[in-house]
Chains A and B, each alone.
Chain A
Amino acid sequence: MALLTPTGTRWLSGILTVVLLVSMFSFVLTPVGGKELRPVPFEDTVDAGGTSVDIQRSLQEGFIIPQAEVFYSNYRYVVGYYGVRMAAAELADPGTERQFGTPLAVYVSDFSTVTPTLTDEGFIIPESGRAVGWVAADRAMYVIDSEAHIPSGPAVMPFSDRTDAEQFAETYGGDVVGWKTLQSRVDTPLEHRLARFDEMTASYQTWANQTVASSRGLLERPRSFTVGEDAPNVSAAIAAAPPNTTVYVPPGQYETTELVVTKPLTIVGAGNETVIRGDGTGSVVHVRADNVAIHNLRVAGVGDIGSRSPERANQSVNWDTNIQLAYGYGDAAVVLDGSNNSVVSNVHIKTASSGIIVRESNRSVIDNVTVDGAPTPNEGFMGAILIDGRSIVQDSTFRDGRDGIYTHRADGSVIRYNRMEGGRYGVHEMYTSRTLVTRNDARDTQTGIIVMGRPTENIVIHNAVRDSVIGIVSAGGNSLYANNTIVHNRDGLRVTGDQNIFMDNVIVSNDVGIKTNEILPANWVLRNDVVGNAKSVDSQLGPLRTWTYRGIGNYWGPLPLPDRDDDGVYDRAYEPTGTVDSRLGTTSGGTTLAQSPAAATLRRVRDVVSGLRQSGVIDTAPRTVPFHPQRLADLNMNATAGTTT
């Protein structure tokens, strides 16, 4: 008690007074507001939009991607958008304000500081030696629908000076509009996007059906040579056969060194009894002409070199060439090399490296092919490789090896009705935009379907991934992942990228149903049935996300929560990542804990300023019944059948 003297008390009260007085300076200091926010170097922002192809090519070729920077009231980082349209769309979405708060400051590239010119492709080239500046979005004028482009699509051009904008529009076409008009014209509501994806899906299916149908016409060509009768071996028959005829290869084993096809021919076997066997080095059949068909036979004896990539990436050539060299020039059973409108069908391939490599061959079809790869991913390579062309892979089976189907810039391709078993990735899309991946079945893979390289507008629907390490990974943007069935994996779905739609997926019995770690959560996740996973959602990075769109959430299984108005939505929000909510219905006492005043009080504010809160996921409209009861019931039946047989 020695301290407790009147002098001690004077000191104590003095200290406390000083602390409070100093604290009161917080009222004199104004927290930073919107007016003081200035653009930061774009590379320091959390960026969104812009495909890797856009970004890599702009760096390499020196053109400019218009950019925007947004400071949100409730998000700790500065957000950078590639493409002004992307920023406008994000700002116009009602979910953005709920997630990140109001935009305190929005800046866009100012092309008034440079006099931009366009290349033949429409890419934007600045005046040499001058840097593009920034202008506040609401003070800029925008040229839309001009010839200005980036590789992934049209570009909106902002100018701080109206005269510059008008001059640009005069030269390169387009309209001059203000920020408000631009925002009203962006394709933002989810409903619009879904309608667009529906149209895309339908037109892709039609294109694929027509392409496959016309490829089958190649099988009708008259037979000119029969190997063994008209020619001593396959290569002699191919050399002698006139264009647009069929070479028939009867049952038997045919030892060949690399067969090269340089004219439009159809090579047909008698099914599994016809085996074309390479010498174990290099590729077996090399096609270098359009309109070639290889049908109804087996190919074996493929060399074992998957990738001929130089030890280190060659710095002197561009990134794209490096990837092409690494992935497109290994050994394969069949190589389609610049051979448009060609088809490989009813072919069974046994390979230690790749099955089929398709390079720059538009409208090529891989149909009903079986590829048996090397026993481990490290030993083998890809079942089918699609590079730089629009192709179709359908009704095929890829077993083991590394990846079932690997694509590089094969924009517009359709991958449907395939089956992948074992191996690393079932479908591996790199830098490939606007594809349709549908009704594929992957199992026992390391990842069923993986989209990488920030591509855009991919449609991944109605696929099934089972018994894999990871189900589906989505490292791109502006894409649709819908109606997939993801069962018995370690991680079911990885929600990444930006402006992706994840809906109507059935995610059952995985260790973790959905994993989500985007720093900038800007995806729609709704109408999914997430049931019976050891953990529904795991989220360690990025702020709290809201997975509800206009009152439509997801189904997280039966929860001990009330639904008094019987509208099929629980009366309160559910936080599948929450300490308390995640234990609802699973941990004994979870409900009691959730009802505590402390938990209820914290719950009340948990989705306020969600952009500044601990990482996690909240659904403000959790459903009381599944969206897809039939699909869940089918899965349960299968599970029961599986255990009894």
Chain B
Amino acid sequence: MNVREALSVVRSVVNDLFVVATRELRTVIRTPALVALAGVYLVSILAVAWAGTGGSGGFIPLTLDLLTFTEVLIPLLALAFGYRSILDDRLTGELDMLRTFDVSRIAYIGGVYLGRAIVLVGLVVVSLFAAGLLVPVLTADQPTFFAQNQAADSGIRFVRFVVFAAGFALVTLAVALAVSAVTRTLRTAFALATTLAAAFVVGIDTTLIAGLASGVLPSESVPLLLAASPNSAFRGLVLAEAVGAIGGAAVNAGSTPLNVVGLLGWWVLALAVAMWRVWPTVVLETTVSADAHET
């Protein structure tokens, strides 16, 4: 294969990927439940900004107000947006139909991921930026004739928070896709998605605390174990890089590089699992319903 051929392969994969992504976008928009979910999320985030005392103070307190809500809601949102994506195609037979067009794994998984990610990340970014825009509105009555302490608060830190939230959404969506790729029935997919959501939001951290309490885990392992949990890695990154010093003391939020590696690890692993499990590596030309063999 020469360079020209390779390029044309890439071009065709990318074309396929965007075709699939477009189809995913249409699916999301035609699913009233997902549209409603997006609406509820947007309203919730804005309501938190309004109800808390942070939004009417500054960006750093707003970040602190929003942190727990985003940490809980983003995995739920991502799993809701992703857990049926591949499974539905499989169950309706569309996956097999697509395979007859010789769509590559990368194009298919990439397309599904991109299509869903556009909606999910768009939603996360738009809602958080909208919440951030409330800050200048809600603080409009604060006196401006005094010299401002530029180091006290900063929009830059809030933008960092939004970037972390978008990254966290991308990672959890990848996990949702992996769930969708490895399961063969809706029931299993739902159970697995719920399990993972519970583990991310509560389970991993409580296990870590239990381990520390019982003495099984040494204190030195905390930064590493935190990085292994997507939620803790996200939380640590926000506290360290977006919030900075709280109440005087440095936040001591764990290791930023480890947390980045942790999140990237989950992302790569989840997408790899999705690609690996979306259909069998050995193409079975004759067997149309391969599903029975794979579970």
| Chain A residues proximal to chain B, CB less than 8 Å | 1, 4-6, 8-10, 12-13, 16, 19-20, 23-24, 26-27, 29, 31-34, 36-37, 40-41, 44-46, 71-78, 97-98, 101-102, 104-105, 519, 541, 543-544, 578-579, 598, 601-602, 604-606, 608-609, 611-614, 616
Residue of A nearest to B18 (CB): A6
> Taking A19-B125, A23-B159, A612-B60 as contacts, is the C-beta distance between A10 and B149 under 8 angstroms?
no
Contact of B57 among A12, A71, A604, A612 (CB under 8 A): A612
A13 touches B51 (CB 8 A): no
B interface residues, Cβ below 8 angstroms from A: 15, 18-19, 21-22, 25-26, 29, 48, 51-58, 60-61, 64-65, 67-69, 114-115, 118, 121-122, 125, 138, 142-143, 145-154, 156-157, 159-160, 162-163, 166, 241, 244-248
Q: In the complex, are the beta carbons of A77 and B156 less than 8 A apart?
A: no
Hey, which chain B residues are within 8 Å of A44, CB to CB? 145-147
Report the separation of the CA atoms of residues A608 and B251 in the bound assembly, to the nearest whole angstrom.
12
| A contact residues around B56 at 8 Å (CB) | 613-614
Query: Within the assembled complex, what's the spacing in Å between the Cα atoms of A76 and B65?
Result: 18
Docked Cα-Cα span, A6 to B160, in Å, equals 30
- How near does chain B come to A46, taking the closest CB pair, in angstroms? 5
- Chain B contact residues: helix, strand, loop or mixed: helix
Q: Is the CB of B61 within 8 A of A76?
A: no
Flag if A41 contacts B247 (CB, 8 Å): no
A602 and B58 form a contact (CB under 8 A): no
- Neighbouring B residues of A24 by C-beta, 8 Å: 163
A9-B14 Cα distance, complex, nearest whole Å: 12
B57's closest neighbor in chain A, by CB? A613
Residues of B within 8 A of A97 (CB): 247-248
User: Could you tell me the distance between the alpha carbons of A104 and B153 in the complex, rounded to whole angstroms?
Assistant: 13
Bound complex: CA A72 to CA B163 (Å) = 27
Q: Name the contact of B147 in the complex, choosing from A41, A74, A98, A605 (C-beta under 8 A).
A: A41
Contact A71 B53 (CB under 8 A): no
Task: Name the one of B19, B67, B114, B163 contacting A26, with C-beta atoms under 8 angstroms.
Answer: B163
Known: A16-B118, A16-B121, A16-B125. A6 touches B146 (CB 8 A): no
Q: Are the C-beta atoms of A71 and B149 separated by less than 8 Å?
A: yes
- The one of B29, B152, B156 that contacts A76, using a Cβ cutoff of 8 Å: B152
Give every chain A residue within 8 A of B48 (Cβ-Cβ). Answer: 598, 602
In the assembled complex, the Cα of A6 lies from the Cα of B21 at a distance in Å of 8
- 8 contacts across the A-B interface (CB closer than 8 A): A31-B244, A36-B151, A76-B149, A578-B53, A598-B51, A605-B54, A609-B247, A612-B60
Q: From known contacts A1-B26, A101-B247, A608-B61, infer whether A27 and B151 are also in contact, taking CB-CB under 8 Å.
A: no
Q: Which of A8, A97, A544, A601 has the most CB of B within 10 A?
A: A601
Q: Does the CB pair A73–B152 fall under 8 Å?
A: yes
Shortest CB distance B177–A (Å)? 16
The residues of B that contact A613 with a CB separation of less than 8 Å are: 53-54, 56-58, 61
Let me know if A13 and B21 touch, CB within 8 A. Answer: yes
**A605 touches which one: B65, B146, B163 (CB < 8 A)?**
B65
Contacts of B60 in A (CB 8 A): 74, 609, 612
A578: chain B residues within 8 A (beta carbon) = 53
**Nearest chain A residue, comparing its CB with the CB of B244:** A31
B125, A20: Cβ atoms closer than 8 Å: yes
5 more A-B contacts (CB under 8 A) besides A77-B149, A614-B55? Answer: A1-B29, A26-B156, A36-B150, A605-B61, A612-B58
Most A Cβ at <10 Å: residue of B19, B118, B122, B163: B163
Q: Which residue of A lies closest to B30 (CB)?
A: A1
Distance in angstroms from A146 CB to nearest chain B CB is 30
A522 and B115 alpha carbons, distance in the complex (Å): 53
Q: Are A543 and B57 neighbours in the complex by a CB distance under 8 Å?
A: yes
Residues of B within 8 A of A41 (CB): 147
Given contacts A20-B166, A73-B248, A612-B61, contact A37 B150 (CB under 8 A): yes
Q: How far is the CB of A67 from chain B (nearest CB, A)?
A: 13
Chain B nearest Cβ from A364, distance in angstroms: 43
Q: Which residue of B lies closest to A540 (CB)?
A: B141
Option from A598, A604, A612 in Cβ contact (under 8 Å) with B153: A612
Tell me the smallest distance from the CB of B126 to a CB of chain A, in Å.
9
- Please give the distance in Å from A542's CB to the nearest CB on chain B: 9
Residue of B nearest to A41 (CB): B147
A137 to chain B, nearest CB (A): 16
Determine if B118 and A73 form an interchain contact, defined as CB atoms under 8 angstroms apart: no
- Nearest chain A CB to B108's CB is how many angstroms away? 14
A519, chain B: closest CB distance, angstroms:
7
Please tell me which one of the listed residues B122, B148, B150, B162 contacts residue A16 in the complex, with CB atoms under 8 A apart. Answer: B122
Q: Measured between alpha carbons, how far is A68 from B29 in the docked complex, in Å?
A: 60
In Å, the complex CA distance between A2 and B13 comes to 23
CA distance A4 to B21 in the complex (A): 10
**A78 adjacent to B147 (CB under 8 Å):** yes
What is the minimal beta-carbon distance from B53 to any residue of chain A, in angstroms? 4
Q: Is the CB of A9 within 8 A of B22?
A: yes
Complex CA distance for A579 and B138, rounded to whole angstroms? 16
How far in angstroms is the closest Cβ of chain B from A568?
Answer: 26
- Most chain A Cβ neighbours within 10 Å, of B146, B148, B151, B241: B151
Q: Are B151 and A34 within 8 A (Cβ)?
A: yes
CA distance A31 to B156 in the complex (A): 7
Chain B nearest CB, measured from A366 CB (Å): 42
Nearest CB of chain A from residue B138's CB, rounded to whole Å: 8
Q: Residue B150 contacts which of A5, A32, A601 (CB distance < 8 angstroms)?
A: A32
| Cα–Cα, bound, A33→B244 (Å) | 11
Query: Bound state CA distance, A578 and B53, in angstroms?
Result: 9
Residues of A within 8 A of B153 (CB): 76, 612
Q: Decide if A6 touches B15 in the complex (CB within 8 Å).
A: yes
Which A residue sits closest to B58, measured CB to CB?
Answer: A612
Closest chain A CB from B98 CB (angstroms): 15
Chain B neighbourhood of A609, CB < 8 A: 54, 57-58, 60-61, 64, 246-247
Shortest Cβ-Cβ A-B pairs, 3 listed: A44-B147, A613-B57, A40-B147
B159 CB contacts on chain A under 8 angstroms: 23, 26
